[in-house]
Every structure is written in C-alpha cells, then in structure tokens.
Structure 1
C-alpha cells in the first residue's frame, strides 16, 4: 500500500459518515484490516511527520492503521502528537490507537493529556476520547487512573466537556475498540 492509495477517513467509525450498512461494513473491515497489515512502517512514519503534508484526515487514518496493526513502536510518536494537539480531529485517532495498545504506559499517556488539556476551557480538543480511552484501560488493567478526573468538582466537571457523560465516552471508545479488533482479525 503506497501513500497514493491511502484509505479514506470518511468511512471510519467516529466520523460523520462512518456508520455503514452491514454489508458495506464487512467489506470495509476487511479492507481496513488488510491495509493495517500491509502498510509499511516507513509509510506510517512519513504520514506522522510534523513537517509533512498530511492533513488531519491522513493522520486520523494513520493512527487507526497503527492501532489496528498493534504497532506499539509508534507509541511515543503518537503520544507526542496527542500532547501537541496541532491538528483538529487527529487526536481522536491517536487516543484510539494508544487505548488499543492496552498497556500501563498507555494509561500514563492519556493521563498526561488530560492533565494538560482538561484545565484549559479554551482547548476543546479530544478530551472525551482520551477520558473514554483511559476508562477503557482502567477496566482492562484493573487500574483507577480516571477516578481522579471524575471526582465531584474534579477536572472533568470543571472542563468544557462537563456536559458529556463519562460513561458514554467510555462506551463509545469500547465500541470503537471492538470495531478495530474486528478489522484486525478480518485480515490476520
């Protein structure tokens, strides 16, 4: 898979048109799984370069491919990009991939992101995705990283995301992780 045949973001779950009918969903899952396994590390690295030409759409897709492929060697790059939050919407893919890696280090990354951006009401980025991912990791790892963000009058309740139910953020990420797992198995 070369850079000229990069998958489209408009069919990814979480995008405005990402809900597909069942028959199209199966085909898309196979294609996404195939792409995640065939894309080279060099192509993924190229798409993540801070000075590259990739838009948020390519970055979002790249992060999905990394997450589906379980390419943990990109963890630190995704962490840096998530913390920089330079491209709108791309952070959704970074948070999803980091969550799918499923290790304690990933909970630390999402915690650092929430520590940085929840207290900033003018930074309405991807905090809901990060919190949902952190809650998902807590459930999987038996940890409690998200608890301090969710205390009464805690960072979540004082943030620009206070109107979003944390349980909904968690269930949304869990649904997307299931989708990514299906894609990974589709072409494994």
Structure 2
C-alpha cells in the first residue's frame, strides 16, 4: 500500500494541508459545529491555504488517497482554482474512492457553470442506479444548487415517479430520512451553505500587495 511518508514531496503536501488538526475529518462533516470561533479559524486557514498551495501540490494530493483528495478539492473549491476543473470531473466520474466525491461535488458547485452541471448529470446517470457506494446525495445537492443559479432544470430527470433519486434514497437511508423532496432540500442546503461559507472566507482574506 502506498504511504506518503515514503515520498518526500507528497509527504510535505499531506502534512501541510491534510493532516494538521485532522482537517480532513472536519471537511467530511460540514456544515461545521456551533463554535463560531472555531468555524472562523477553519475557514480562515482554508482560504489562506487555497491560494498558497501550488498546482503541483494539488496534483500530488489528487493522485493519492481519499483524505488528500477531499482536502485538495476543498482548496480548489475555495479559490476556484480553474486549472483543476477537468481533473475533478475525471475523478468524480471514476468514482474510485468514497468520501472524496463529496469534495468534488462541492468544487463543481463552486465553479458554477453549465459544463460542471453536466458533469454532475453524467455522474448521476451512471451511479444513481447503484446503491452500494458513492456520493449521489452530494451530487444531487450540487446539481439542484446549480439549477437554481443557472436557471436550468437538470435535476428534474432524476425526480418524480420514474426518477432514480427516490429508489436510491430508499435503499441508502432509513424510512424517516428517505422522503424524496425533504432529502433533496437538505442536500441542496448543505451545498449552498458550503458555497456561502467559502465566499465569506475568501472575501475576508487581506488584499494582495
């Protein structure tokens, strides 16, 4: 099994951006908690790192395991690092590592273009029929968020009596959490909250000199 400690450049990127304070765990359980001071600190360091990390370091993290990929996708999302848009789409559609896909969906929502909405559509067409694993809930949240921004109706094909969203929910969640529309609103709101949080944190950065 690959170990970042045996690769100096990768190890430096992981220890700088992924593991301090177990950042990757916080990113996997957002929105954050009720401690607003801690939330501000998390957001400030994410914003700072999103502009500090190099493209080479991001590529190293994207080529590693889910913790590194999740963190890299958040950093790309915060600063909208457009050089990595294609890479994120490839990784989402490959669907190789659980949890990392939540970060990819967040990043695609942050890019906020029709192209990225269509990547989410492609992912959902491929993976909503499968209930073994994946980030279909995050993808639906991101797609409905983009539909609202772009004035599109891409998510409609997955909804309603003949859509794949409701059967997927019933397989993955207990009955009290499997309401098609309530769940959709929830996952939309998670993505919307993350995008608003990123905007707020990036605006708080001091201007470049």
TM over 0.5: yes
- Aligned pair count? 181
1:120 equivalent to 2:130? Answer yes
Q: Deviations along 1:79-120, whole A, 9 cap, x unmatched?
A: 110111111100000110011100000100000000000012
Ranked by relative contact order (alpha carbons within 8 Å, sequence separation 6 or more), the top structure is: 1
Which of 149, 152, 163 is the equivalent residue of 1:140? 149
TM-score (norm 1): 0.89
- Partner Cα distance (1:170, 1:181) in 2: 17
Which of 181, 188, 192 is the equivalent residue of 1:174? 192
- Partner Cα distance (2:108, 2:62) in 1: 15
1:39-58 alignment, distance < 5 Å: 39-49=53-63, 54-58=64-68
Which consecutive unaligned segments of at least 5 residues does structure 2 have? 1-11
Shift of 1:151: 2.2
Secondary structure, aligned partner of 1:158: helix
Q: Which has the larger radius of gyration?
A: 2
TM-score (norm 2): 0.80
1:6 equivalent to 2:17? Answer yes
1:59-74 alignment, distance < 5 Å: 59-74=69-84
- Partner Cα distance (1:115, 1:17) in 2: 27
Alignment RMSD (CA, Å): 1.9
In proportion to residue count, which structure has more helix? 2
8 Å Cα contact 1:9-1:60 kept in structure 2 = yes
Which consecutive unaligned segments of at least 5 residues does structure 1 have? none
> Which stretches of structure 1, 4 residues or more, deviate above 3 A after TM superposition?
none
